[in-house]
A and B are shown apart, each in its own frame.
Chain A
Amino acid sequence: MKKSQLPAPLGELAADNGRSRGHHSLVEGLAFGLLRLSMLLVIAAIFFIFYDIFSKGVGMISWEFITAMPRRGMTEGGIWPAVLGTVYITLITAAASVPVGVFAAIYLNEYAKKNMFTRVIRLSIRNLAGVPSIVYGLFGVALFVRALELGTSLLSAGLTLGLLTLPVTITASEEALKAVPDSFREGALALGATKWQAIRTNVIPSALPGIITGMILGISRAAGETAPILFTGAAFYLASLPNSLSSRFMALPYHLFIMSTQHHSIEKVRPIAYGTALVLIGLVVTMNMSAILLRAHYRKKMRG
């Protein structure tokens, strides 16, 4: 249809479109370019970090490096105590924060009334997620090390990290529960299920992939934290491996901190620092990847 054949208002509209098309595509192009640039910056930064650590650390990586004790004032040998300490501490963190986090989320999302009080609780939890980790560290000293007399130990540090992850695990679990359609709850209740039966057999299984993902992401973040374990149990150097919950321990992030800033011959141990960083990143990436794979697996299973 030619412009002249259109009724008057439409004809004007078409003419107007023609005039501003060039302008619109310029704005569109700029906006799009800006978005793309932002994304490239992020990817470039990640790539650079990985490249730097990988290229400088990969030479150190060997079975020996991971499984041997440090020797000669940590200028030689491996990082086994730090690896083991981080694994232990991660397990304690999980044991402390997963049950409490999931149960709190179930209570908040399924049982608590939606009123001012629960809104305040929810807001507080969100805010706790933003509290600097060093503050958690001090709180851990006050509560676990001193008040509960657990001393500087695996247990104190694990519980402190558990507290740090709690806001993340609660929020992630709550979001996962919120994503379960109400029809699953009503459908079960309408069949005569009790509320807890409906939650246990119908709501939680559907929310599980999201809950697990949140847990792993929270815990993997805790695994890389230094500040909260600094005063609560992590040690500069220990000649023996931790053998109980009350032992002090070495941990990868703290070891990395020492090797890159505190050691008496920093230049000499630089490769060990990079090797430690690579192992730590490998550990965290592995945990995050397994979270992603687990979620994909459950999603597929759910869809049948």
Chain B
Amino acid sequence: METNLVIQVKKLNLYYGKFQALKEVNMEISRQEVTALIGPSGCGKSTFLRTLNRLNDLIDSVQIDGSVSIDGKNIYDKSCDVVALRKKVGMVFQKPNPFPKTIYENVAYGPRVHGIRERKKLDVIVEKSLREAALWDEVKDDLNRSALRLSGGQQQRLCIARVLAVEPDVVLMDEPTSALDPIATQKIEDLIRELKEKFTIVIVTHNMQQAARVSDSTAFFLNGEVLEMGDTEIMFTRPLDQRTEDYITGKFG
């Protein structure tokens, strides 16, 4: 099992100015599994997700201590190359955020910034990524159309394709279906189940059923702490903590 660990978080504390948003978070995330982060709004799960690709660096007031190791290397070390980290740990956002470019240019964006210029290579990557994101059949005749013309669900799958194009190991998803209708949501969930064959996925969700449907492990956040973490099935049937049970069964949230 030891070699199967991708992400190891130890005693992670995060502060927005004086407000402590994450408290002593410990977590281990296994390769090619889907890990769901659940908990009420403002409990720190999205903040935690954004520590995994250091996107919190963008906020001036954030301070972090503790360690986050990915493949054994602490990403908060001074020597860590943030660009390489973000290439390895991709992210899908809550609201689909296609760039105002064509479908092709959106998917090719990542490879291009990483130095791939050759048109043929890019063509191959674009097709492969769109296929992996289950979008190819819907857009293959129209790759030069603006991405903004796609439906919300298609846009989100495009954003997933865009992440896959840089060949990450880990894909972070921040409530990827909260802006989508049930059918588009189902397509994304099917996709997540397929993607875990190749990628490690960490997903924040407000939807208990979604966590139960797609994830292997679940972590329950409350007020910046991880109250409980473990096998999804066990967590949803026999939670250890009363508060976990209360949240899962909808007594608060």
Instruction: Tell me what chain B mostly uses at the interface: helix, strand, loop, or mixed.
Output: helix
Say if the beta carbon of A194 comes within 8 Å of chain B: yes
Contact stretch, chosen from A30-38, A73-81, A182-190: A182-190
**B96-138 interface mask toward A, CB cutoff 8 Å, 1 = contact, 0 = none?**
0101101000000110111000000000000000000000000
Say if the beta carbon of A262 comes within 8 Å of chain B: no
Q: Output the least CB separation between A3 and chain B (Å).
A: 43
**B79-101 interface mask toward A, CB cutoff 8 Å, 1 = contact, 0 = none?**
00001111100110101010110
Contact A191 B109 (CB under 8 A): yes
CA distance A188 to B162 in the complex (A): 10
Chain B stretch 179-198: residues in CB contact (< 8 A) with chain A:
none
Say if the beta carbon of B241 comes within 8 Å of chain A: no
Contact stretch, chosen from B3-11, B17-25, B36-44, B141-149: B141-149
CA distance A194 to B113 in the complex (A): 8
Contact A186 B55 (CB under 8 A): yes
Chain A: interface residue total (CB-CB under 8 A): 23
CA distance A192 to B100 in the complex (A): 18
* B residues adjacent to A (C-beta < 8 A): 53, 55, 58, 60, 83-87, 90-91, 93, 95, 97, 99-100, 102, 109-110, 112-114, 145-149, 159, 162-163, 166
Contact A113 B60 (CB under 8 A): yes
Which chain A residues border B87 with CB–CB below 8 Å? Answer: 191-192
Which chain B residues border A113 with CB–CB below 8 Å? Answer: 60
Say if the beta carbon of A19 comes within 8 Å of chain B: no
The verdict on A189 contacting B86 (CB below 8 Å), with A114-B60, A201-B113 known, is yes
Which chain B residues border A192 with CB–CB below 8 Å? Answer: 83-87, 110, 113-114, 166
Contact B100 A206 (CB under 8 A): yes
Say if the beta carbon of A23 comes within 8 Å of chain B: no
Contact A191 B148 (CB under 8 A): no
Say if the beta carbon of A304 comes within 8 Å of chain B: yes
Contact A188 B100 (CB under 8 A): no
Contact B149 A304 (CB under 8 A): yes
Contact B97 A184 (CB under 8 A): yes
CA distance A183 to B97 in the complex (A): 6
The verdict on A304 contacting B146 (CB below 8 Å), with A183-B93, A187-B93, A190-B91 known, is yes
Contact A184 B99 (CB under 8 A): yes
Contact B99 A190 (CB under 8 A): no
Contact B113 A186 (CB under 8 A): no
The verdict on A189 contacting B90 (CB below 8 Å), with A183-B95, A183-B97, A197-B113 known, is no
Contact A186 B163 (CB under 8 A): no
Which chain A residues border B83 with CB–CB below 8 Å? Answer: 192-194
Q: A187-B159, A191-B87, A304-B145 are in contact. List 9 more A-B contacts (CB 8 A).
A: A181-B97, A183-B97, A186-B55, A186-B93, A188-B109, A188-B113, A191-B90, A303-B100, A304-B146
Q: Output the least CB separation between A176 and chain B (Å).
A: 14
Offer 28 A-B interface pairs, CB within 8 angstroms, sorted by A: A183-B93, A183-B97, A184-B99, A186-B55, A186-B58, A187-B97, A187-B99, A189-B58, A189-B86, A190-B86, A190-B91, A190-B93, A190-B163, A191-B109, A191-B162, A191-B163, A192-B84, A192-B85, A192-B86, A193-B83, A193-B109, A194-B113, A197-B113, A202-B109, A302-B100, A303-B100, A303-B148, A304-B147
